[in-house]
């Protein structure tokens, strides 16, 4: 247990539906990251927050994706109008001051 919690662990949805994932990072870590990982690939950066400010977004993050971190604590990642290509593992991580990432167990999305 790394101390980073993600919910839900698994989500199956139909194409066109909206889904939301939640991440609770380690409380003393100011930076929170979202990555996406498809089968057999390494994690790909999506976005990160410094406290409540979203400081960088990848081009992978289309207009259908939105992430928030209100009050600089937990974070949510919402995908609107899901497509089959959105099927992946969505990983959240918080950054220690010494630059190591602590990952949650991930939220696996399957879009039918």
Partner 1 sequence: SQQGEEDPQALSIQEGENATMNCSYKTSINNLQWYRQNSGRGLVHLILIRSNEREKHSGRLRVTLDTSKKSSSLLITASRAADTASYFCATDVQGAQKLVFGQGTRLTINP
Q: Site residues (CB under 8 A) for partner 1?
A: 2, 4, 6, 31, 33, 35, 40-45, 48, 55-56, 91, 93, 98-106, 108
Q: How many other C-beta atoms are found inside a 10 Å radius of the C-beta of residue 32?
A: 27
* Least spacing, CB of residue 81 vs partner 1, in Å: 26
Pick between residue 77 and residue 91 the one whose CB is nearest to partner 1.
91
> Strands 19-24 and 10-13, how do they pair?
unpaired
* Least spacing, CB of residue 43 vs partner 1, in Å: 5
* Least spacing, CB of residue 105 vs partner 1, in Å: 5
Pick between residue 69 and residue 108 the one whose CB is nearest to partner 1.
108
Burial class (CB in 10 A: 0-12, 13-18, 19+), 76: middle
- Residue 23 to residue 109: CA distance in whole angstroms: 15
């Amino acid at each position: 247990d790394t101390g980073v919690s993600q919910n839900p662990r698994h989500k199956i949805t139909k194409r066109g539906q909206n889904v939301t994932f939640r991440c609770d990072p380690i409380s003393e870590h100011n930076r929170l990251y979202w990555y996406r990982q498809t089968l057999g690939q390494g994690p790909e950066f999506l976005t990160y927050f410094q406290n409540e400010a979203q400081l960088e977004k990848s081009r992978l993050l289309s207009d259908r994706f939105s992430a928030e971190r209100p009050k600089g604590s937990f974070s949510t990642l919402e995908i609107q109008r899901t497509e089959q290509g959105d099927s992946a593992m969505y990983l959240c991580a918080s950054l220690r001051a010494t630059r190591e990432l602590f990952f949650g167990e991930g939220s696996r999305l399957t879009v039918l």
